[in-house]
Structure 1
Amino acid sequence: MNRLTTPWGECGLTRFPEHPRETLRAWDSADEYVLRYLAGTEGPRAGQDTGPGADPGPGPDAAPDLSGAVVVVGDRWGALTTALAAARRGSATTGPLVQITDSYLTQQATLANLRRDGAAADEVRLLSARDTPPERIDVLVIRVPRSLAQLEDQLHRLAPGVCPDTLVVGTGRVTEIHTSTLKLFDQLLGPTTTSLAVRKARLIHTSPAQGRVRAPSPWPHSYALPDGLGTVSGRTVVNHAGIFCAERLDIGTRFLLHHLPHREGAEHVVDLGCGNGVVGTAMALANPEARVTFIDESFSAVASAEATFRKNVDAGTEAAFVLGDVLSDIPAESVDLVLNNPPFHTHQSTTDATAWRMFGGSRAALRPGGELWVIGNRHLGYHTKLKRLFGNCEVVTSDPKFVILRSVKN
């Protein structure tokens, strides 16, 4: 656990799941920057990019009023939410503090960090990216996501609750804020400017405009799969914003679909890290007797997987759609086959921690003789990890970029 010093005191923060040897912090300089701004200790800096008619926001002597409806979007591990809960504690409030996230892990980290900081159970409302935002927002804090599509979807959802007097401030690392980012804020909310960089972070300031005409949100987005992909050839995939490769089928999944295992009988198959669910749907179509469970930590991914599945299978076909931390909610030795394309980054950090947890969780969930199939970039060296966990690992097939590995639980 590390301690974040905020204008309202210190708070101990961890990521989720908490690991005693975790080296990555639960916040970064972008979080610190926006918290100083919201406390009134750091206003617009000299040389700030201020466009015509833009409101640069309050200066150092004019701390924003945080007593109304405060909405925090895209908080990575609950650092912003925990700090703002402390800022409002003990003062009269007229509106809720709301966190909106697409991540189950973020929600769990936030709950743990709030409890550690002494927050009451009703201090914060936790909403998912699929929930309806509050009808009125007085202060809107947005941690810019990696996905421009996710930001677009969020701003479309938030816009009805933003009023002319709403304080809108975004934050992110300089590598996360681009011209396209600012253009979205400008198009969907109002005139937008950005600050100078401070410790490789920037702030985004938006002055909400009344009567702004917005095109309908393009999300969710659907497309037809190409031919040559077995049971899902020509099928429709449904994608909510923010999931991996939401606008097209990624080449890794395409490669896996060409080489899926042929299974028969009433087996329990898990599509782990399911994304839009196309892999699990392909298995269900190939083996109608199989019971398929789709698992992801993204609310939007689970929603996409269910929509894709329902779009392509016969009505009444059963499947499970699980939002959670890898296979922690799956009974031990209850699964026959796990299919997995693990991520190798968490936000801006490259790490194999998630892959390790996915592989370890798969081993616990598999029955003796059950199989884990993994696809990944060749350079990631997953075969070494799988051999350590399972005692075996074979290459099913490979090409110059990807490799499909198979491990069996003995």
Structure 2
Amino acid sequence: MSHYFENDENLNHDIRKKEIFINDIRFEFFTDRGVFSKENLDFGTRQLLKRIKVKPNIKTAIDMGCGYGPIGIYLAKMNPNAHIYMYDVNSRAIDLAKKNSEINQVTNTTIEKSYLFEHVVVNADLIITNPPIRAGKDVVYDLYEQSYLHLNQGGSFYCVIQKKQGAASTYKKLVDLFSNCVIVAKEKGYWILLSKKA
């Protein structure tokens, strides 16, 4: 079985172009087999992008685990003066994200393959993620810890996670890391969490 957080070179392609509205803004996205939520934008990501508040003075943001790019491309479109760095371990997802950045006419993105923050050389004012829960708790917690290290002082970290997939333990982990965590919203079992680096 193929997972979206792994590379499966043997997986047949099924590239499709989708029209997706995010907060009433129209986007087009190419999707394919082997990437997360290929049929439509998932509910958790929708809630995350509905609730996130981006400071007007941010210069850099990181979309970790970008998949085919909806989070990073939305951030880039809505914050043209910021530069959005998008990373994923999945080569197919990275190729799609690059293509989707082009068709949505955003030029303020850098999209690169990376296992978590392995190849990340920047720090950011904002890090946002819909973490790869199926990759396991150790991977997800590594993502949180590395996010803390790559945030600028005063920076914000947002994530979305289902209650049944460990929202309460993620909340505790973020409090331990950041000394703060706010539950921004709870919607149909999904928690939107925000921590700030003091």
1:232-274 deviations in Å (ceiling 9; x for gaps)? x221011132101112111111212212223323511111110
Q: Which residue of 2 aligns with 1:375?
A: 160
Task: Name the CA shift for 1:402/1:375 in 2 (closer, same or farther; >3 Å).
Answer: same
Q: Residue 342 of structure 1 contacts residue 354 of structure 1 at CA under 8 Å; is this kept in 2?
A: no
Question: Does the alignment pair 1:392 with 2:169?
Answer: no
Q: Distance in 1 between matches of 2:6 and 2:133?
A: 16
Kept in 2: contact 1:269–1:291 (CA 8 A):
yes
The CA RMSD over aligned residues, in Å, is: 2.2
> 1:408 aligns to what?
196
For residue 160 of structure 2, give the secondary structure of its aligned residue in structure 1.
strand
Q: Distance in 1 between matches of 2:144 and 2:180?
A: 13
Is residue 2:62 matched to residue 1:270? yes
2:139 to 327, 333, 354: 354
Gaps of 5+ in 2: none
CA contact (8 A) 1:252 1:402 kept: yes
> What is the TM-score when the length of structure 2 is the normalising length?
0.89
Paired with 1:289 and 1:265, the residues of 2 have a C-alpha distance of 8
Alignment counterpart, residue 224 of structure 1, candidates 9, 19, 23: 19
Map 1:57-68; keep pairs closer than 5 Å: none
- 1:324-343 to 2 correspondences below 5 Å: 324-331=114-121, 334-343=123-132
* In 2: Cα distance, 1:373 partner to 1:261 partner: 10
Distance of 1:369 and 1:295 partners within structure 2: 22
Deviation at 1:358, TM superposition (A): 0.7
- Decide which of 150, 155, 160 is 1:365's aligned counterpart: 150
Q: Provide the C-alpha distance between the structure 1 equivalents of 2:75 and 2:108, rounded to a whole number of angstroms.
A: 13
Structure 1: state its 5+ residue gaps: 1-73, 77-101, 105-127, 130-141, 143-150, 154-218
Give the AA of the match of 1:320.
T
Q: Is the 8 A contact 2:155 2:197 kept in 1?
A: yes
CA distance in 1, matches of 2:60, 2:161: 23
Tell me the TM-score normalised to structure 1 length. Answer: 0.44
Larger radius of gyration: 1
Whole-angstrom distance in 2 between the partners of 1:152 and 1:306: 20
Determine which structure has greater relative contact order: mean sequence separation of CA pairs < 8 Å that are 6+ residues apart, divided by chain length. 2
Instruction: Indicate the larger mover: 257-266 or 271-280.
Output: 257-266
Query: Which residue of 149, 152, 155 maps to 2:12?
Result: 152
- 2:93 and 2:66 mapped to 1: Cα distance? 7
2:58–2:125 CA contact under 8 A, matched in 1? no
Q: 2:29 aligns with which of 222, 237, 261?
A: 237
Pairs aligned (count):
194
CA contact (8 A) 1:276 1:301 kept: yes
Cα distance in 1 for partners of 2:57, 2:133 equals 33
Aligned partner of residue 368 in structure 1, secondary structure: strand
Distance 2:42 2:188 in 1: 16
Secondary structure of the residue aligned to 2:52 is: coil
